Amino acid sequence: MGRIKSATQGYAGDSMKKLINAELAGNILLAAFGLLIIFHILVLLRVIPAEVVWGGQIQGVPSNLLTLETIALAVTLFFILIVAAKLGYVRASRFAGGVNIGVWLIFGYLLLNTLGNLASGVTFEKLLFAPITIILALCAFRLAIER
């Protein structure tokens, strides 16, 4: 793990550090976000029905679908950039503090997203996306506690 420096020992994140290393957690996030981009593109192309996203709330309104999916794609690309910078795949030395804050924000976003998936009226979101987002949140947490 030559790209990221290890944080100091002696706090609650120690057990997480033993469970999975930061580079693997970050690479899992990158792979998942890459798959998420493909998913959102398939929703835009109507290969995947719009009813399975956004809590099923954008049925029959194509302009809302385009707007929300475009925002989702932009946010996901931004998350990829942050994670790639944290892993050292993208140079961001001037923005290291911002990258660290960004990883914590990704963690918070994924936690809130998990709650949204669990509260969704769409069974697909509850059964598939909620477990995935909690795993990704744990990966983001692991990456966030790395210095």
Residue linked to tokens 């956004």: 54
Comparing 38 with 20, which gets the higher pLDDT? 38
pTM reported for the whole predicted model: 0.81
Which phi and psi (to 5°) does residue 7 adopt? -75, 165
Q: Which residue has the tokens 């963690």?
A: 107
Question: DSSP for 131-145?
Answer: HHHHHHHHHHHHHHT
Distance of CA 110 to the CA centre of its chain: 6
Which tops the pLDDT comparison, 89 or 126?
89
H helix runs in the chain, sequence order: 14-19, 22-44, 62-87, 96-119, 123-124, 130-144
Band the pLDDT of 122: cuts 50, 70, 90: confident
The pLDDT tens digits for 69-114 are 999 999 999 999 999 999 999 998 889 899 999 999 999 999 999 9
Cβ pair 140, 22 in contact under 8 A: no
- pLDDT score for 1: 44
